[in-house]
Amino acid sequence: MTPEQQSGSMASAFFALLRRDLLLAFRRRTEMLFPIVFLLVVVSLFPLGIGPSPALLARIAPGVIWIAALLATVISLDGLFRSDFEDGTLEQFVLSGHPLTLISLAKILAHWLVAGLPLVLMSPLLAVWMNLPIESLGVMVLTLALGTPILSLIGSIGVGLTISLKRGGQLLSLLVFPLYVPILIIATAAVMAASDGLPYTAFLGLLVAGLITSVTLAPFAAAAALKISLS
């Protein structure tokens, strides 16, 4: 097989797997909607719990929305590889001869499209609900658009390591939460800086750098973790 044919075969396999995972996700609408419902419930409860003060809500809005998005992502992570692992589909993917890194990247992208992108699209409504200033609304959406893919990429490594464990979901949270903390701090700092009229591009630059690093390294690390679990 020529390099061009091999490249075309890998691209076809990537998009076929991406399409398969998206179709499966839409057939399981309850599981797909759960992170969105969780995000709405968590953010909606804060004004009821701490009071409707506009100034207070505006100040805590970045942290509340980001924490809720982080928790919603963690809730959905366990299904990233587990169903394919349990029914043997993941082993068939490996036996197909396609790189496990490519398979991991396709499944990570499908996970973000199903669990991460809806959170980004819902964020303007949540920001208005939390009285976030209009001038920082765009920064809030941008931080989520840059940060949520990082959450999926980093989380895929933890899922790969815990997929063969019976109670892997509990261990998964312990593994990924420390890695998520820097993203949470940088993203909320960017939104708060925009709210205060301070420069925030440096924080966005850190998120871009984190996204590039995660896209470059996380699929390889997730593939290595899956190989350990499958062995």
Q: Say if CB 158 and CB 174 are below 8 A apart.
A: no
- Token pair, residue 74, equals 């963690």
pLDDT score of 134? 86
Domain ranges of the chain: 3-230
Q: How much of the chain exceeds pLDDT 90, in percent? A: 34
| pLDDT tens-digit map of 10-19 | 778 788 888 8
Asked whether residue 116 carries a pLDDT value surpassing 60, the answer given is: yes
Contacts of 11 (CB under 8 A, 6+ apart): none
| Percentage of the residues of the chain whose pLDDT score is greater than 70 | 95
Pick from 68-72, 96-100, 198-202: least confident: 96-100
User: What pTM does this model have?
Assistant: 0.90
Up-side HSE of residue 86: CA atoms within 13 Å toward CB? 11
Residue with the two structure tokens 């009821």: 48
Spatial distance between the Cα atoms of 127 and 130, rounded to a whole number of angstroms: 5
- Where does 86-154 show beta strands of DSSP type E? none
